Amino acid sequence: MVSRWTRISAKLPAFPWDTLAAAKATATAHAGGLVDLSVGTPVDPTPEIVRSALAGAANAHGYPATWGTPALRAAIIDYLAKRWQAEGLDDRNVLPVIGTKEIVGWLPSQLGLGPDDLVVLPTTAYPTYEVGARIAGCRVQFCDDPDEIDGRASLIWINYPGNPTGALATDDLMRRWILAARDQGAALASDECYGEFGWEADPVSVLRPDVCAGSHDNLLVVNSLSKRSNMAGYRAGYLAGDAGLIAELLEVRKHSGMMVPDPVQAAMVAALGDQNHVEAQRERYLRRRDVLKEAFGKAGFRIDHSEGSLYLWVTRGEGCRETVDWLAERGILAAPGDFYGDAEHVRVALTATDERVQTAAERLTA
């Protein structure tokens, strides 16, 4: 008998990282050891100010509030105002989440979407956008131009700076996405988790008043502290935007027990209130990016997009799996583009230590 759970799992793609086992084994066997540039997991320490706040809130004997503490809501609003020029936000416009992969995977379901609903996704993208749509049973369209949406969408995902490509959006493109969402009555979910890392241009938030026409209608910013504050293990993220959408999601999340622990909320307040550690981390990634960009260029790779985020999007003009194997022979593990919908490129993460990044560069240019 086929259970309902089997029917749900049958909608999902194979877990992509399992397909890297052979390449990882080859790279690990290299005499100098593995240089893992395949995943975007931070390797640098969580800032002391964050760890101290977490420890100071450890006496968390009561249940946390799904909506977050007043201090956390204020910290989110203040950060968005100071860093991204957002205006007119109040408590009704923000909601903490248990890391943003959770909300990416469950947003269509929590919005009550189903088989009659269309979810629009970037053509080359973080695979969990599609997973969330499949779990909810929604129809999916891959699209990079708001003028090419085929049908009436219920949810549109955008991601700038992008994972995996590092592409940035112009102000005009962001405005066009917002107008398309409002015209269709769709929620526009803007994944801005890499917003602090724009290298060749400044990233744009959909909440910037001149971009959103001073209105939060139809907009949901999805943001995370994993990358900006090395807090991936804390599972700390938040939503901000349309008060009506936030209220709907808050109600669903209250009933389903989706609460960010109080110590994590205290750590988020500390992280959002301190920009110095973000700038220090940005400088680390920029140094690593410079080293890897030069080395891949010397090794004959072409680097496309990569204007922001924590990745280089590289190609040798061959199948991505061939490139992964070529790198593995040199002890370097990278993520094949077919994880994200591209059969040629390879994603190279900047999230390795300075020593490992230098080792990779030496192997590439030997």
- Give the end-to-end CA distance of the chain in Å, rounded to a whole number: 57
What was the pLDDT predicted at 9? 56
The two structure tokens encoding residue 247: 């209220």
Q: What percent of the chain has pLDDT over 70?
A: 96
Is the pLDDT assigned to residue 290 strictly greater than 60?
yes
Q: What percent of the chain has pLDDT over 90?
A: 94
Is the pLDDT assigned to residue 288 strictly greater than 50?
yes
Specify the 3-state DSSP secondary structure of 303: strand
pLDDT tens per residue, range 237-260: 999 999 999 999 999 999 999 999
Q: How confident is the model at residue 19 (pLDDT cuts 50, 70, 90)?
A: confident
The two structure tokens encoding residue 28: 């690990």
Asked if residues 32 and 330 have their Cβ atoms less than 8 Å apart, the reply is no
What class does CATH assign to 4-45+277-365? Answer: alpha beta
Q: If you average pLDDT over every residue of the chain, what do you get? A: 95
Specify the 3-state DSSP secondary structure of 335: strand
CA 281, 83, 79, 235 torsion: positive or negative? Answer: negative
pLDDT tens per residue, range 109-126: 999 999 999 999 999 999
- Give the dihedral of Cα atoms 13, 40, 100, 267; nearest 10 deg: 150
Q: What value does the mean pLDDT take over residues 279-302?
A: 98
Q: What value does the mean pLDDT take over residues 133-159?
A: 96
Assign domain 48-273 to its CATH architecture.
3-Layer(aba) Sandwich (3.40)
Domain ranges of the chain: 4-45+277-365, 48-273
Is the pLDDT assigned to residue 5 strictly greater than 90?
no
Q: How confident is the model at residue 1 (pLDDT cuts 50, 70, 90)?
A: very low
